[in-house]
Amino acid sequence: MPTPTPDAAPRRRDKTHYLYLAVIVAVVLGILVGFLFPGFAKGLKPLGDGFVNLIKMMISPIIFCTIVIGVGSVAKAAKVGKVGIMALVYFIVMSTFALAIGLVVGNLLHPGEGLHLNPADVKSVQKSATGAEGPVDFLLHIIPKTLVSAFTEGQVLQTLLVALLVGFALQKLGSKGAPILRGIEHIQRLVFRVLAMIMWAAPIGAFGAIAAVVGATGWAALKSLAVIMIGFYATCLVFVFVILGLVLWIGARINILSLLRYLGREFLLILSTSSSESALPRLIAKMEHLGVGKSVVGITVPTGYSFNLDGTAIYLTMATLFIAAAQDEPLSIGAQIGLLVFMIIASKGAAGVSGSGIATLASGLQSHRPELVNGVGFILGIDRFMSEARALTNFAGNAVATVLIGNWTKEFDREQAERVFAGTAPFDEATLIDEDQQPEPEEATAKA
């Protein structure tokens, strides 16, 4: 295969480099506009919503193509089952650990004490809990109404189920399914190309989203709720750099700083949109480029976005303690343990979309402590700021999980990872697909 010319990669990097510089400038301008012209800034919210919706539009087709290709190209179905079981066990352990950390920090900081707030002022938040799903409803909701409704309704877990069924069906077809698999690979290239085009709208979306939230909240909400916000950010930082860092080093001998640096542009995208889903397609592409096997990435990443939400887990426990203390109804240790068990289940239904944390918190309180559910409104003022830390932590946790599962299943190319971290194997920002590493089946046949 021809080697790319030395100046080809820098040209591609320069274009995207300008794009992400534009995102930074847009975020700064959004903050300034929010403070200087709050009324005008509030009207810019549709810009941010529109960009996130464009990204969400691509989630289902990308997940479908990635999982079908990953599962369909595995010789034995048992291998997929092994990856799935290992991933779920890891997700449960880490989510439980994150929930416990949230409880410990919440008890140390005592957020909300002394506020003596009246929950009758924020009854509107009950709407967030209306229609909350229980565990049985959540599991039944994974099954789509039709084979294509998972795509039209944008349901990640439903898409995951359909993709797994199609992937296993292609396994059973054997050589007869090879043309279908190659067709889906071509569709994947088209989908990633469309995503790359959408990314050029990121500065507009970031500007609108940041300006709207700053214009709506200003400094009042930040001052009154500074303790829980700063405590939550500090807890997330400790969890990512200490807990996940140790787990990644012990489990795969990878430095957490190298991995986070490699995913720097994705973190910037999440910071500007406050949605970890906005970076899901890029995480899939980058994990494959890093050297993690397609089957591992195809199972771990989409599943992790529904079952491995470490940032959301920390948020749920700390926010609940804050709401209880603010209403002068602090929770006993026994009640906190019961809450921990319940939130382990409730957090599994949270999606990586901005705002889902509030809905999950409200539904959890409605089922566990209904007398506290009105108090969710007290945290709405800074939820947008806290959702960024949630999304960043969720994303980091899923990236670490993907590398770990790949290493444990021997589906991790360490030499490729070293080249990537060293900068000698740059990621192709133009296509989001590492075509040099994964040639077309026809090309491989021709070489043979």
pLDDT tens track for 96-130: 888 888 888 877 876 655 555 555 544 444 444 44
Cβ(429)–Cβ(15) below 8 Å: yes
For residue 335, give the amino acid letter: A
Question: Which residues 6+ apart lie within 8 Å of 175 measured at CB?
Answer: none
pLDDT value of position 126: 43
Structure tokens at 286: 């980058």
C-alpha 9/C-alpha 429 separation (Å) is: 9
pLDDT value of position 261: 92
pLDDT value of position 295: 81
Q: Chain-centre distance of CA 181, in angstroms?
A: 27
C-alpha 407/C-alpha 360 separation (Å) is: 32
pLDDT value of position 124: 43
pLDDT value of position 53: 77
Burial of 253 (0-12, 13-18, 19+ CB in 10 A): exposed
pLDDT value of position 177: 82
C-alpha 294/C-alpha 185 separation (Å) is: 12
Burial of 124 (0-12, 13-18, 19+ CB in 10 A): exposed
Question: Which residues 6+ apart lie within 8 Å of 240 measured at CB?
Answer: 256, 260, 392, 393, 396, 397
What does CATH list as the number for 8-438?
1.10.3860.10
C-alpha 111/C-alpha 203 separation (Å) is: 35
Residues in the chain with pLDDT values less than 50: 1-14, 121-132, 221-222, 349-355, 435-448
Residue environment code for 32-49, b if the CB has 16+ CB neighbours within 10 A, otherwise e: ebbeeebeebeebbebbb
Closest to 55 in 3D by CA, of 237, 191, 234: 191
pLDDT value of position 114: 55
Can you tell me whether residue 110 is helix, strand or coil?
coil
C-alpha 310/C-alpha 16 separation (Å) is: 30
C-alpha 286/C-alpha 427 separation (Å) is: 7
Query: Is this model's pTM higher than 0.85 or not?
Result: no
pLDDT value of position 133: 52
C-alpha 412/C-alpha 97 separation (Å) is: 26
pLDDT digit string (tens) for 139-150? Answer: 777 788 887 887
Cβ(408)–Cβ(251) below 8 Å: yes
C-alpha 301/C-alpha 395 separation (Å) is: 10
Can you tell me whether residue 412 is helix, strand or coil?
strand
DSSP state of 143: S
